[in-house]
Amino acid sequence: MRKHPELSEKELVESYERQPVGKVLQLFRPYRFMLAGAICALILFNMISLVMPWMLKIAIDRVLPNADYMLFWLLAGSMVIIYLMRGLLRYIACYMIDYTGVRLLVDLRQKVFRHLQNLSLRFYEEYRTGKLISNVISDVALLQMLMRVMTQFCEQIFQLALIAILLLTMNWRMGLLVFLTIPLHYLNFTYFRRIIRKDSLLVQEKLSEISANLSETITGVKVVKSFAKERAESRGFFQTLRPIVDLQMRVTVDGVGLWVIFDMLSLITYLGTIGVGIYFVQNDHISIGEFVAFYTYVGMLLGPINVLSSLSVTFAQGMVGASRIVKLLNTIPEIKEIPNAIHPPKLSGLIEFQHVTFYYDKSQPPTINDLSLTIHPGEKVALVGPSGSGKSTMGNLLLRFYDINSGSIRVDHIDIRRLNLESYRSQIGVVLQEPFLFSGTIRENIAYAKPEASREEIEHAARMANVEEFVENLPDGYETMIGENGASLSGGQKQRLAIARAILKNPSILVLDEATSALDTVSEFLVQQALDRLMEGKTTIIIAHRLSTIRNANVIAVLQNGVIAQQGTHAELMARQGIYRDLYENQSRMAREQL
């Protein structure tokens, strides 16, 4: 299994703690009115709940001594009406919170996914797929949980303040004694919240690593099986799971520690209230009814403190998910459109590389170094050279998967950095050495290039790409499910399907990146036929390893160390000494030896 560099625990925690709370709160901004309505409903719900102890005081001080049943029935009727209102408010609050939570999940996952689509290839080279899946699924779910916690937090804070006012109104001296424990509760809450947040962050990071490793292993299951590494991978997976147990137990133990200290502080508060209350009753400073109401309000005061303490675990976990989402959304796309970018009409296909220099890593020599090349409309230009010479990079730069460091790339005399990316890329077709197919039907994969295409258009593209040759033998024809990345198809069949997709797109410019290098002779013949049909009348860049496939190219550019070492037709390059002739003769000799 591939290893990836990891930050230390301290660096990891600091990287997320640098995410300001304000940026996290910005994620909830579109839902602020719904959340405010839910919080108001919860506050009214809790205000109504505070009527009960006051009713109890009246019952003890006035109903009980005087057997005043008229007052009792009046109190009972009032309580029924109040609790009906309480139930309605609870329903309204829960509905608004749940509706907002579902909207948050859908909207934020869409926002994260859209943001991921805008990020450059360089980002995906550095960030593991499994971690991104964890961001979109797990972290957004934690953010929904954080939203619920925040509404509960506002509800409990308001209830706490309201009860505090009632206690001071009833007996300010007893109230002040009760409030002496509140700073201790706050310190307990703050201390454990910081610890739990750190441990929760580490748990989420470990789960992301597990998700990434799992995705990688499943994707490479054929390699795993071919090397008989099932047991080794299982052991490795178990080893990544073990730290999760320790971390999650730490979170649990921290939560228990928070509750135990809260429980002891609550006991002290209750005992203090009873002891002082007895003294005040005996000295006629308060009535028995007032004492009972005061004691009940103390219990209701400790309720919000208890809820806030228990929410600290959930809040810490939610903040971890929110911080990870904010960090991801703060990743600035490397490839940006300028304001009012040009939507090009149908391109003629004139391509100009003008003194282009490009670095993948500025600490290394440039991959492309001051390269200039002009490709005229309708020309077939082959890029050849040793591995690492910059052939595929030129295709990536043309598609603007990366931005060049200096120079310019122009299409139809327009710098591609001035073009609208969607409009520009929609006119370029790409066929890769290892084409990617989606786990749908053959028809759906061809139509990916043009979703509105008719059945006749799809089947015409299939015939042009020699796809029909193998589709006819499939039980469900074009409706055959091909599995993840075309698992049920051969390499040649997948390649022809990718070519059919490009034919349906009907682009002005084609980039063929080693499109036949991994195929057997029969498959290569069928694919080459399809490619010849695809290339008719189109400006084509052929990135080739097999030099025998590009003999008919209008121009062959031989790259070496990021520069064009030779340029000309096949005949011209073979007529003089140089790297192309050496490469061609070596390949021809190797082919004869294999025969």
Query: Is 593 inside any structural domain?
Result: no
- CA triple 448-450-454, angle to 5 deg: 110
With 60 as the cut, is the pLDDT of residue 19 above it? no
What's the pLDDT band for 398 if we cut at 50, 70, 90? very high
pLDDT score at 383 = 92
120 in a domain, yes or no? yes
Within this chain, do residues 360 and 491 fall inside the same structural domain, yes or no?
Answer: no
* pLDDT value of residue 9: 52
| CA angle at 518 for the pair 560 and 369, rounded to the nearest 5° | 20
pLDDT grade, residue 515 (50/70/90)?
low
CA gap 495, 489 in Å, rounded: 10
Q: Are residues 162 and 205 in the same domain?
A: yes
Q: Looking up tokens 């050496």, which residue turns up?
A: 582
Q: Are residues 513 and 499 in the same domain?
A: no
| 65 within domain boundaries | yes
Statement to judge: residues 421 and 465 lie in one domain: no
Give the range with max mean pLDDT: 2-11, 397-406, 432-441.
397-406
Q: Which of 329, 361, 380 is the last residue of a domain?
A: 329
Indicate if 483 and 553 belong to the same structural domain.
no
Residue 271: inside a domain: yes
- Cα–Cα distance between 325 and 122 in angstroms, integer? 19
pLDDT at 16 over 60: no
pLDDT of residue 129 exceeding 90: no
Tell me whether strands 414-415 and 406-411 are parallel, antiparallel or unpaired: antiparallel
Lowest pLDDT segment from 56-70, 232-246, 283-297: 56-70
- How many Cα atoms occupy the beta-carbon half-sphere of 541 within 13 Å? 29
Res 356: pLDDT: 94
Residues 553 and 519: their CA atoms lie apart, in Å, by 20
Task: Give CA–CA dist 40/515, Å, rounded.
Answer: 63
Cα–Cα nearest to 544, from 517, 511, 564: 517
pLDDT at 381: 92
109 and 234 in a common domain? yes
Specify if 104 maps to a domain: yes
Helix (H) or strand (E) holding 536: none
The answer to whether position 581 is within a domain reads: no
CA distance 236 to 572: 56
* Residues 494, 515 share a domain: no
pLDDT digit string (tens) for 130-168? 677 777 777 787 777 888 888 888 888 888 888 888 888
Q: Residue 299 sits in a domain of what CATH number?
A: 1.20.1560.10
Whether the predicted model's global pTM rises above the 0.85 cut = no
**Are 540 and 563 in the same domain?**
yes
Tell me which residue has tokens 């809260």. 262
Range 486-508 average pLDDT: 82
- Nearest CA-CA partner of 515 in 434, 587, 591, 394: 434
Measure the CA–CA gap between 442 and 491, rounded to whole angstroms.
Answer: 15
Q: CA 583, 585, 586 angle in degrees (round to 5)?
A: 65
Of the listed ranges 213-222, 265-274, 499-508, the one predicted with least confidence? 213-222
User: What pLDDT, on the 0 to 100 scale, is given for residue 522?
Assistant: 61
Structure tokens at 268: 């002290």
Please answer whether residues 353 and 418 qualify as being in contact, where contact means their C-beta atoms are separated by less than 8 angstroms: no
Contacts made by residues 132-138, CB under 8 angstroms, sequence distance 24+: 133/211, 133/215, 134/204, 134/207, 134/208, 134/211, 134/212, 135/208, 135/324, 135/325, 135/328, 136/109, 136/112, 137/109, 138/204, 138/207, 138/208, 138/211, 138/321
Sheet of 351-358, strand order? 368-375, 351-358, 406-411, 414-415
State the average pLDDT over residues 340-367: 89
Report the first-to-last Cα separation within the chain, whole angstroms: 37
For 314, residues 6+ apart whose C-beta sits below 8 A from its C-beta are: 145, 146, 149
Range of the domain at 473: 436-506
Please tell me the distance from the alpha carbon of residue 265 to that of residue 371, in angstroms, as a whole number. 74
Shared domain check, 308 and 451 = no
User: Which amino acid, residue 93?
Assistant: A
Cβ 344 vs Cβ 419: under 8 Å: yes
**Final residue belonging to a domain, choices 297, 329, 361:** 329
Q: Give the amino acid at 39.
A: I
Q: How many domains does the chain divide into?
A: 3
CATH code of residue 513: 3.40.50.300
Q: Is the pLDDT of residue 452 over 70?
A: yes
CA distances from 233 to 95, 96, 223, 226, 227 (A): 46, 46, 11, 13, 11
Q: What is the pLDDT of residues 61-99, one digit of tens each?
A: 676 667 777 777 887 787 788 878 888 888 888 888 888
Radius of gyration of the chain (CA): 35
Q: Please check whether residues 180 and 114 belong to one and the same domain.
A: yes
Query: Residue 429 in 3-state DSSP?
Result: strand
Contacts of 148 (CB under 8 A, 6+ apart): 97, 101
The pLDDT value given to residue 226: 60
**pLDDT of 460 higher than 60:** yes
Residue 144 lies in a domain: yes
Helix (H) or strand (E) holding 339, with range, is none
| 181 and 66 together in one domain | yes
Q: How far apart are CA 353 and CA 360, in angstroms?
A: 18
Which of 100, 160, 108 is closest to 138 using CA atoms? Answer: 108
Q: Tokens in use for 433? A: 């050495």
Query: Is the pLDDT confidence value at 3 over 50?
Result: no
Q: Check whether 500 has a pLDDT greater than 90.
A: no
Q: Do 189 and 322 fall into the same domain?
A: yes
Mean per-residue pLDDT of the chain: 80
The helix/strand/coil state of 474 is coil
Q: What is the pLDDT of residue 463?
A: 82
